[in-house]
Structures are given as structure tokens and as C-alpha cells.
Structure 1
Amino acid sequence: MFSYLSLGCSDLQRAARFYDAALAPLGLQRCTPGGDGWDDWIGWGTYLDDGREELALWLCKPFNGEPPSIGNGSMIALRAHSWQAVRDFHQAALAHGGRCDGPPGLRLHYGADFFSAYVRDPDGHKLAAVCRGFTADPALSHTPD
């Protein structure tokens, strides 16, 4: 469905530190480090030059030179493979300049298996980490991972 997503940022190096840390628990690594013609871009995910497989999250300074802005109601939800990965995403994001927009937990109103956490990046963009496929057993005092 998507080729790539891009978000504007005001400080590329600050954003890189945030996203490197927050996306690592989700298994996402940079697909380009910047430089070599990509001085104003940094990307995470999969983005092959041949164009066959190109799902990536890119950060850049806006082309028009204006400050970046966030969308009201906009959010990027990223897949996590465990509840612990959701928790680690949230913790890493907060430790690297993000702010909490919803702590890790089950969101039963979205489904019995919808475990997520929500953060804002340093520029205010809303991100979520979501793990589905596990449900909590009320008899257990811990969550599956």
C-alpha cells in the first residue's frame, strides 16, 4: 500500500537519536545514514534502490524551508512483535526526548489483543507501537511476551 512515509523535523540529528533508540526495540534500523546526497534525509525500514520493496519512514527538513508542523489526528502506528517490545519502544522514546501520549497497556476498546503505547517525537509527531495476537489471561499476574 505505501512506498514510504515522511515526517518533517526541525533538527535532523536530534530526531535521528530519538528514532534510532525508539525504533530499535521494533527491529527497525536505518536504511540510509544520511550523507552522499542524502544530507537532509534519514530513513528507517526497508528501501531498496531498485524500487521493488520500499517501505520506509523518512525524516527531513521541510522542502519549503518553513518549520515542520504536525497533523491533527495524524499518527504512525508501528508493528511490535511482543508486549515487551512495546514497553521498550515507549521507554526508549521517553529517554531520548519524546513524551508520553499513552503508556503501554491493553486497549480493550480496540480489541482483546490490542497492546499499544503512544509517544510524541521531539517535533510533536504522534507514534504508536502496537502488538496484536496475544491476550491477557485475567488469572495471570503478568502479561505474555
Structure 2
Amino acid sequence: MIHHVSVGSNDIARARSFYDPLMALLGMPLLAAGDTALDYGSGDIQFSVETPVDGHPASVGNGVHVAFQARDRAAVREFHRLGLANGGSDAGEPGVRPDYDANYFGAFLRDPDGNKVEALTFAAE
């Protein structure tokens, strides 16, 4: 069982501008914010954005991404739209991913630090 997932950032304020609307859409509001970290969740922390504790710049993991469950396809589309509007870049437009599953509907973004995030649902329209 995974308790939470963290990604690195070199600019917490910029990351907050990107993640606040996305996490609110997914039902994970901001629980705590500081100069070096953001914590999102629904009760407990489920996702955090942090500056690296070792003092080195944050970097992305090649092949790593975090996937968030969305309630429906409209939420996946909105996740993608909000991400692009708040400093993210497209890493895969909303759509069915039949290679994963006939009902897998997802959208991929890169956050302003380059971390890859996704919203997905198995719900029909």
C-alpha cells in the first residue's frame, strides 16, 4: 500500500500555481504549504511537491509518472485544460488508450519542473 507520492520542484510557488487547481479538481485540496513543500490529499497527505532535501536541483525521473484517478472523462479533459492553462505542457491529449484497456481514458501533462502527471478514468462518457 502506498501512503503518498512526492515529486521534486525547483520553484514551489510556480508548482503551487500548477497543482492547486488540478488537485482541487481531483478532490485533493492543499493540506499544507511552505517554502519547500506542498501537501495535497483528502484527509491524509496523498501527493506532495517538495524541493529536494539534499540541496541539489530537482530533476525528473525518466519513465516515471504519477497517475491520478478522475471521476469521469470530463474531469480528465478539465485536468488537461487546467494544466496547460497553469504552466504545464502537453504530454498526451485526453483520449482512450486502447493499448492499456478498452475503457482507459487518460491525459498526460508535464508540470513546470518536467514531472509527468496523468489523470485517468475507466468511466464511460
Same fold (TM over 0.5): yes
Segment drifting more, 69-78 vs 1-10? 1-10
Q: What is the total number of aligned residue pairs between the two structures?
A: 125
Residues 1:15 and 2:11 aligned together: no
Work out whether residues 72 and 123 of structure 2, in 8 Å CA contact, stay in contact via their aligned partners in 1. no
More divergent stretch after superposition (13-22 vs 24-33): 24-33
Distance 2:50 2:99 in 1: 35
Deviation at 1:106, TM superposition (A): 0.5
Corresponding residue for residue 2 of structure 1: 2
Deviation at 1:129, TM superposition (A): 0.2
Query: 1:96 and 2:89 equivalent?
Result: no
Deviations 1:45-78 (A, max 9, x none): 135xxxxxx4511111111111101001000000
Alpha-carbon distance in 2 for matches of 1:132, 1:31: 27
Greater strand fraction, Structure 1 or Structure 2? 2
On the 8 A contact 1:2/1:55 being kept in 2, the answer is no
> Given the alignment, which residue of 54, 59, 77 partners 1:64?
54
Counterpart of 2:122 in structure 1 is 132
Shift of 1:13: 0.6
From 24, 38, 44, the counterpart of 1:42 = 38
TM-score (norm 2): 0.94
Letter in 2 for 1:77: A
CA deviations 1:68-105 (Å, max 9, x no partner) are 01001000000000100000000000000000000000
What 5-or-longer segments of structure 1 have no aligned partner?
48-53, 135-143
Match for residue 114 of structure 1 among 92, 104, 115: 104
Q: Distance in 1 between matches of 2:73 and 2:40?
A: 21
Name the SS for the 2:7 alignment partner: strand
What RMSD over aligned residues (CA atoms) do the two structures have, in Å? Answer: 1.3
Runs (4 or more) in structure 1 with deviation over 3 Å come to none
Aligned to 1:74: 64
Instruction: Indicate the larger mover: 14-23 or 119-128.
Output: 14-23
Which structure is larger by alpha-carbon Rg, 1 or 2? 1
Residue 107 of structure 1: how far off its partner (Å):
0.6
